[in-house]
Amino acid sequence: MKHKFLTVLLAVAIFIPSVVSVVYYNKTNGGAADIHNTLSVTVRDTAGSTFVFDRNDGEEAMKMISFFLDMNAGATEIASVPATVAQGDFYQVTISTAVRDAGYKYYFTPISADCYFVDGDGKAFQIGEKDAQTFLESSWAACLYENGTPPVLTLGTETAKPASSDWSFQNNTGAFTKADTSFSVTEETMSYTLEGGLAMRFSIDPDYFGVKVTDKSTNEVVFDDLYENLSSLAITDSMQVHVEVTARWYEDAERSYYGEQTYSFDAQLTAPAAFYAGATTLQIGEFICVTGVNVRSPENITFSSEPSIDYTPVFYQDGEEGEVYALIPFHWDLSAGNYTLNFTYGGASQQINITLTQRDNPFRDRTVTMDAVTVSTYGTEEIRQRCEAELQPIAEEGSAVRYWEGSFLPGADESALSSGFGHNITVSGTNITYRHTGIDYDLAAGTDIQAVNAGKVVYAGYLDYSGYTVVIEHGYGLKSWYCHMNSTSVAVGDVVEKGAVVGVAGSSGFAAASGVHIGMTVFDVPVCQYTLWDNGTNKGIPVYTAE
């Protein structure tokens, strides 16, 4: 009897750990997470900030873990999250146990009765109003409120991290909650390279914006004043400085926020950018070249014009480091008058004033005669659109290499000019009308056609509308177009010299007579070439060159 009892006791002792293991597995792997088995809760809010609450981090972290677990337990399962809420942003929350991570989507709104979550199985729940309101009054709800998150300081194109941040926002009860800014501050002295000066901008303008600048090479304070007076700071190229910033947003009955942030960082400053136009007076349909100096990242130049010229220039780095160039066309539809071009780069902004005048040779109407076969075969809208579709991608490309030099050639005998730039053309006996993008020359078939200046051939081929066609890129998006020839004598990729033969005159495609059409564009904007000729007023493209 005694041996039988010991045998049973031993069997029970062996069995007990198995039972415990099964219960633990069901509790941690098969069942819901609870306060005993949850290791951490990771919260990523709708602004992209991430907070991690780990049970090893103390009482406050455990309170947050407990809050999410209790909030889940007290929620009511529903069919689905309302569509108006589900379309919005959500908090991504991960609850981690020893054996698995469970993901949740929390849809919080500033209305406590309108908060929900979706678990990893896709089941939807409505959060209890009391729990939702507790969350909405917490610092973790900052991104749900206007101006709930601390302002961001931008240095040129970079975002600075504060050394300290104290920010309070108004919650849905009207009371103020202090935001959690621990994720955004740094004890490290950050270092930035700022082109064009010490440009600083807050996402919310501060009431007080103080700046102290120390020259690191001499340890001398070179500026200690309000940011609005910073223009008085003389900047030399590659100047090394240490910067301290204090910004304050005062408490005001009309505002939903207040606070203070400080910054401490090193910066290497480069000399401010400057922009110059090769010419400041031109006629409608012409273009200018703008030079920028002290610009190392031309893609960061911003541009606007007043009134609008409906064009955004593309700047190219070419030649000396820091020098960039862009061609800017003034479309034939613009009105004569004064235009202000605004350029901003890094900490520098500059205006160039342009006077646009009426043309000496105004655009006029002209009627041309074409035979019926040419009109029906090559002049249909479908054929024209097909030609445009093939050539448009070529027009939109540009080159950082400047091939052109000096004045431009007409490309054919100037005395043979028949239709000029910008003329309004009507084809006699039809309803076909169009704006002339270049110059037509009446020439005997087989007459050599010359490249107007040096460049690279980017198209050579035949199209039903433009006939035998050659397109040459001269640099910075400037192109010359040669159409309706009888044949071409160059290939794509050829680099040709000024005056090189590109083809011979003809009447291919939609052409009224034997000759050639020669046009010029800046990217896809037609421009007038008369002033570029040897007998033109500019004898080429005026380009400002830094000394």
Contact between residue 139 and residue 176 where contact means Cβ atoms under 8 Å apart = no
pLDDT at position 33, please? 82
Q: State if pTM tops 0.85.
A: no
Using the predicted structure, report yes or no on whether residue 454 has a pLDDT greater than 90.
yes
pLDDT at position 229, please? 94
Using the predicted structure, report yes or no on whether residue 18 has a pLDDT greater than 60.
no
Closest CA to 472 of 448, 450, 441: 450
Q: Rounded CA gap, 364 and 420, in Å?
A: 9
pLDDT at position 547, please? 58
Using the predicted structure, report yes or no on whether residue 323 has a pLDDT greater than 60.
yes
pLDDT at position 15, please? 33
pLDDT at position 314, please? 98
Name the pLDDT band for 16 (thresholds 50, 70, 90). Answer: very low
* Buried b / exposed e along 491-509 (16+ C-beta atoms within 10 A): eeebebebebebbbbbbbb
Percentage of residues in the chain having pLDDT higher than 90 = 82
pLDDT at position 334, please? 97
pLDDT at position 456, please? 98
Name the pLDDT band for 238 (thresholds 50, 70, 90). Answer: confident
SS3 17: helix
Burial of 448 (0-12, 13-18, 19+ CB in 10 A): middle
Q: Rounded CA gap, 247 and 249, in Å?
A: 7
Strand ranges, E, within 270-399: 274-277, 281-283, 287-293, 302-306, 316-317, 324-329, 337-345, 348-357, 365-368
Using the predicted structure, report yes or no on whether residue 6 has a pLDDT greater than 70.
no
Q: Which of 26-30, 43-47, 209-213 has the lowest mean pLDDT?
A: 26-30
Please give the average per-residue pLDDT across 105-134, as a whole number.
96
Contact between residue 339 and residue 309 where contact means Cβ atoms under 8 Å apart = yes
Q: Which helix (H) or strand (E) holds 459?
A: strand 455-463
Using the predicted structure, report yes or no on whether residue 346 has a pLDDT greater than 80.
no
Q: Rounded CA gap, 266 and 241, in Å?
A: 6
Please give the average per-residue pLDDT across 78-94, as a whole number.
96
Q: What is the pLDDT of residues 254-311, one digit of tens each?
A: 999 999 999 999 999 888 889 999 999 999 999 999 999 988 889 989 999 999 999 9
Please give the average per-residue pLDDT across 389-406, as a whole number.
96
Q: What is the pLDDT of residues 121-142, one digit of tens each?
A: 999 999 999 999 999 999 999 9
Phi and psi torsions of 131, nearest 5°: -65, -40
Burial of 417 (0-12, 13-18, 19+ CB in 10 A): middle
Please give the average per-residue pLDDT across 338-359, as a whole number.
92
The residue assigned the tokens 């235009």 is: 339
Please give the average per-residue pLDDT across 9-34, as a whole number.
42
Q: What angle do CA 271, 273, 277 make, to 5 degrees?
A: 145
Q: Which of 263-272, 452-461, 511-520 has the lowest mean pLDDT?
A: 263-272
Please give the average per-residue pLDDT across 363-391, as a whole number.
93
Q: Rounded CA gap, 248 and 271, in Å?
A: 29
Q: Rounded CA gap, 439 and 473, in Å?
A: 18
Question: What is the average pLDDT value for the chain, to the nearest integer?
Answer: 91
Please give the average per-residue pLDDT across 413-434, as a whole number.
92
Contacts from 216-221 at CB under 8 Å and sequence distance 24+? 216/240, 216/241, 216/242, 216/266
pLDDT at position 69, please? 96
Using the predicted structure, report yes or no on whether residue 464 has a pLDDT greater than 90.
yes
pLDDT at position 85, please? 95
pLDDT at position 4, please? 38
